[in-house]
Chain A
Amino acid sequence: MIFLNQMLQGVFLGAYYALIACSLSFLFGVMRIINLAHGSLAVLAAFLLFVLADRFGLSPWLGLILVVPVMAALGWVLQILVLERSLKGGLLVPLLSTFGLAIMIDNLLFQGFGADTRSLAPAIGDLSFASWALNDDLAIGALDAIILLAAIIVLGGLQLFLARTRLGRTIRATAEEPEIVGLIGIDARAVYALATAIALALAAIAGAFLAFRATFNPYSGGMQLLFAFEAVVIGGFGSLWGTLIGGIALGVAQNLGAFINPQGFLIAGHGFFLVILIARLYLGPLAERVRFRRQRAPAA
């Protein structure tokens, strides 16, 4: 039962991973950029919420109403000032520039807030410990349930937005053919700026939940980037629901590792990621070849 509870908590942890991963995956889908500052930007949003709660006594839920638009605006600026120029420079430049940006953000946060580890758990009151007991050993935390719900709403919303709305279709068309959409009057630059704004707004939401459910410090960004990336790769690039599955698989693997050995949490997570990666790299082509043979066999 303790084991089962541990796995259940892994599922909820995975929902958080899906939240932080979806914007990384979204931006990659639209612009073919892996934003190495992604985790640091989510942590920046967490610190913004922290300041609002700490200095102005603003509830973090209300704070989100302020921070999400601010991060979206920052995304717009980021696209105009950094990403657009990076994209012109070839494949390597976006990696170098966003990594430089990540180093800057992390250390500026350190300069502003020091090394202390923070959490917004106290600011959300009962929510951080309220839970429904299923039986003696199994319990679902209220916050966990909210995070899972948020992940489903965000991923589903993003999916619907991309599939059903005019703007979503514009974004997808631009992702496919950034030059050709210009012929039908779409400004690819504006679409990219909008996509980056959406990505950072989503990163802000993820940052908020990081702050609610756990602790963070100025250097937490790198690890959040890794978790997001692992969730995306495990779930399969380009599939939003895959990202949710990937996040949950990662969370469960980590908690399974922690169950086996206190130090096993991170090792199991990274190890699981590598196993999936290796399996995909080697079994993927193999499966392809088998399919290819099967298809050819009748013809031959």
Chain B
Amino acid sequence: MSFTPMSVAHGPRVERWTKRAALFVASSFVALAVLACGPWLFSPGAIDRLSEFFVYVILAVTWNLLAGYGGLVSVGQQAFFGLGAYAAIRLSAGGVSVYPALLLGALVVGALALPIGEVMLRLSGGEFAIGMWVVAELAHLLVNLDPLVQGETGTSLIALDALNAAARRADTYWAALAGMVLLLILTFALLRGRLGTALQAIRDDELAAASIGVRVLATKRVVFVLAAAGAALAGALWLASAITFQPHAYFSVQWSAYMIFMTLVGGLGTFEGPIVGALLFFLVETEFGASGVWYLVGLGAAALGFALFAPRGLWGGFSRRFTPRLLPLGYHVIMPQSDVRDGAGGREER
């Protein structure tokens, strides 16, 4: 190995913002700016589909936050999805104007998640997973009791019906886009900061994390509430585009299946993975959604296959091979003498 005085002078460097990351973040903002002009650029059908896509991204990102970073697999996030829609209906019926009601509903459900998490977070592994499913079932049954909902007959977001269809479509699109960006930024900030480090420590070894002073329960609580509020926002936005509220459609365990598919196929425990997964799910649904049951069989098979054979998912596998580092999320140690940029100390802290 050749000795170069230069590298001794520099020593190992720690990098966060690479040139590529800066370029990627800049181009993401350009893409968002284009999307923000969507209602003037795309057809009404495309606007509706894109609104759905934004909801999928929210669902995937928040489920990943819970499972990929918090180590909490929940098959009951449809509880919050349904409650978010229900809260929006209730608030709107109570006189809150309709778009603020969507956000406010999500916040109310987020607050409700605090006591639910207080109990559920004490369960571990599979108990947490099924326990959340029970919570979802109970939430569904209780919402059915509300005379406004009329049981499984359901109701609709009447206030939205009053608006002009084109304006409503654009507003819902913007609301979904804003909701998605808000959640992505929140998640990003969370993962970049102290809490993100604590979360990864918990995910890798809960006991060890606790022993070095990570506040395990408090950290999980933050993630649980954020994931709940995110799912609730997704539910409220779904309601805004669907208008009708039939409880069984919102509290269906199928939503959990979608979330698991998106996150697992995209890449559990990575920031980009669930976005990739949501995009893939969106494409698969567009292509095969009409084939009904076989499509669902395929989703289940894909989840099973990825869990067994590629638990890192598409993005996880891709970034491991090519280390694209598109986002300034982890730290990269660059060893001066080594050609291998991800040397001994250079593992990405993600």
Contacts and interface: CB of A to CB of B under 8 A. Distances in A.
Contacts of B256: 99
A15 to B, nearest CB: 21
Contact of B129 (A34, A86, A108, A110): A34
30 contacts: A34-B127, A85-B308, A89-B307, A89-B308, A89-B311, A95-B75, A95-B125, A95-B126, A95-B129, A96-B264, A97-B304, A97-B308, A99-B257, A100-B260, A100-B300, A100-B302, A100-B303, A100-B304, A103-B296, A105-B300, A106-B300, A107-B293, A107-B297, A111-B294, A226-B133, A226-B137, A266-B137, A266-B141, A267-B142, A281-B119
Contacts of B253: 222
Contact of A101 (B119, B137, B294, B300): B300
B122 interface: yes
The 9 A-B pairs at the shortest CB distance, nearest first, are namely A34-B126, A103-B300, A100-B303, A100-B304, A104-B300, A96-B307, A97-B307, A270-B138, A107-B296
Interface in B300-328: 300-305, 307-309, 311
A271 interface: yes
Nearest to A233: B127
Contact of B67 (A92, A226, A274): A92
Interface residues of A, number: 43
B145 interface: yes
Contacts of A96: 73, 260, 264, 303, 307
Contact of B301 (A89, A91, A104): A104
B131 interface: yes
Interface in B197-233: none
Given A33-B126, A36-B129, A226 B134 contact: yes
A188 B119 CA distance: 35
Interface of A: 28, 33-34, 36, 82, 85-86, 89, 91-97, 99-108, 110-111, 222, 225-226, 229-230, 233, 263, 266-267, 270-271, 273-274, 277-278, 281
Given A100-B302, A222-B133, A277-B123, 16 more contacts: A28-B126, A34-B130, A85-B309, A92-B71, A92-B268, A93-B308, A95-B75, A95-B129, A99-B129, A99-B256, A103-B300, A105-B300, A267-B138, A267-B141, A270-B134, A277-B131
B303 A270 contact: no
A233 B242 CA distance: 38
B299 interface: yes
Interface string B232-256: 0000000000000000000001001
Contacts of A278: 119
A102 B300 contact: yes
Contacts of A103: 257, 296-297, 299-300, 303
Given A34-B129, A99-B260, A111-B297, A104 B119 contact: no
Interface string B139-170: 00110110000000000000000000000000
B304 A82 contact: yes
Contacts, number: 120
Contact of B134 (A28, A86, A263, A273): A273
Contact of B119 (A99, A266, A277): A277
Interface of B: 67, 71, 73, 75, 119, 122-123, 125-127, 129-131, 133-135, 137-138, 141-142, 144-145, 253, 256-257, 260, 264, 268, 293-294, 296-297, 299-305, 307-309, 311
A263 B130 contact: no
A263 B141 CA distance: 8
Contacts of B138: 267, 270-271, 274
A274 B123 CA distance: 12
A273 B137 CA distance: 12
Contacts of B135: 274
Contacts of B264: 96
A263 B307 contact: no
Nearest to A97: B307
Nearest to A89: B311
Nearest to A267: B141
A202 to B, nearest CB: 18
Contacts of B141: 263, 266-267, 270
A36 B130 contact: yes
Contact of B311 (A93, A111, A267): A93
Contacts of A97: 303-304, 307-308
Nearest to A96: B307
Nearest to B75: A99
B269 to A, nearest CB: 10
A95 B308 CA distance: 11
A205 B134 CA distance: 24
A100 B134 contact: no
Given A28-B126, A99-B257, A222-B253, A104 B297 contact: yes
A96 B256 CA distance: 11
B304 A101 contact: yes
A87 B305 CA distance: 14
B55 to A, nearest CB: 20
Contacts of B300: 100-107
